[in-house]
Amino acid sequence: MQAENVRQAEALLGHHFRHPELLEEALTHSSQADDRLASNERMEFLGDAILSLIVCQALFERFPEYQEGDLTKLKSMIVSRKSCSEIASRLELVEYIRVGKGTDRDRALTGSIAAGVLEAVIAAVYLDGGLAAARTFILSAFEETITQANACEHQDNFKSMLQQYCQRNMDGTPAYELLDEKGPDHNKCFEVAVVIRHRRYPGAWSVTKKDAEQKAARNALVELGLLPPEPQEESA
């Protein structure tokens, strides 16, 4: 790799390589290498194990109330080839993948080759900087994926998700503000909004305060870019 490309890739990864040849190997697909041992296949094997270790530890510490089955489902979603491919694309690592002329580059940039490159890069960071450097890179790169996977698996726990995110990233905790209530005592509706560090997020209505708080927490997660908006129903 040219020195400029190495610097650009390092900036994307947030890690300066003492041994840039590790990064070059991690970005080299077997179709480009003269010898498969000079490709990223062995590093992909190591990176997969390191990724699993760091993600498992993060889930174990972050979700102390989850049972083994919950943790296993989350881990499977987070470290899947699909997730790794998406993260490689988001980090723009795909721009630096070296593939051979006989390989469909467009397919490589969005499929299993991209996922394998991310795992190989994790191994390269580990070999160059140790486990602490690998952990820093993985947790930064996978933060959004962990939050989204938890949302998919625990759709009724938006308040817990928001609180965990705020404590880790916003140095505060969310507060729930009752904005309005309507209807007779036996059939009331409540509007609740989340307030985080003096910012009020979009409110939500429901027939119970508890459900309104969950919906308001989801609105906040959407505003923070951690969840996609709910699809709008098409009008007839």
User: Long-range contacts of range 134-142, CB-CB < 8 Å, 24 or more positions apart?
Assistant: 134/50, 134/54, 135/54, 136/14, 136/15, 137/13, 137/14, 137/15, 138/50, 138/51, 138/54, 138/55, 139/54, 139/58, 140/14, 141/87, 141/91, 142/55, 142/78, 142/83, 142/87
How far are the Cα atoms of 10, 40, 118, 129, 184 from residue 18, in angstroms, in the given order?
Answer: 11, 18, 19, 8, 69
Which of 24, 25, 44, 119 does the annotation list as catalytic? Answer: 119
Specify whether the CB–CB gap between 108 and 99 falls below 8 A.
yes
Name residue 209's amino acid: K
**pLDDT at 235 (0 to 100):** 43
Which of 24, 25, 48, 128 does the annotation list as catalytic? Answer: 48
Specify whether the CB–CB gap between 212 and 205 falls below 8 A.
yes
Name residue 145's amino acid: T
Query: Rounded to the nearest 10 degrees, how much is the dihedral formed by the CA atoms of 190, 196, 200, 202?
Result: -60
Specify whether the CB–CB gap between 220 and 201 falls below 8 A.
yes
**pLDDT at 223 (0 to 100):** 93
Which residue shows structure tokens 């998700």? 161
pTM of the model: 0.66
Reply yes or no on whether 144 is catalytic: no
**pLDDT at 189 (0 to 100):** 94
Domains and CATH numbers, the chain: 3-153 (1.10.1520.10), 158-223 (3.30.160.20)
**pLDDT at 1 (0 to 100):** 56
**pLDDT at 234 (0 to 100):** 47
Other beta carbons less than 10 A from residue 192's beta carbon: 25
Separation between Cα atoms, residue 54 and residue 135, nearest integer Å: 6
Name residue 74's amino acid: L
Q: Which residues of the chain have a pLDDT value below 50?
A: 233-236
Task: Give the E-state strand segments of 21-111 in sequence order.
Answer: none
**pLDDT at 103 (0 to 100):** 58
Reply yes or no on whether 119 is catalytic: yes
